[in-house]
Amino acid sequence: MRNATQTRKDKMIYLLIRKFHIKDSGMKPEYRVEKFTDNVDEANKFLSALTLLEESKHISWHIVSHDFNEPLVLTKEVA
């Protein structure tokens, strides 16, 4: 029998977010979901690879988790 933690974990999704922002430009940051997965280890591997390969100082990578119990709202934690 599954407990509540396992059930919630099964519903978790991890979004890899690409943030593009030129500081001091007056431009608002742009966000894009590049990949999603339900496996946290896979999400971390992609985050490591994307961060390592990224050459632009204006682009950063982030993982946002979502458990489907509430609507997904991106906050300043990503920013």
From first to last of its 79 residues, the chain has per-residue pLDDT tens of 444 544 544 578 999 999 999 988 989 999 999 999 999 999 999 999 999 999 999 999 999 998 877 776 766 655 4
**Token couple for 30:** 């742009």
Q: CA 44, CA 24: separation in Å to the nearest integer? A: 30
Residue 44: its pLDDT value, please?
A: 96
User: Do 50 and 61 meet the contact criterion of CB atoms below 8 Å apart?
Assistant: yes
Q: CA 52, CA 10: separation in Å to the nearest integer? A: 29
Residue 77: its pLDDT value, please?
A: 58
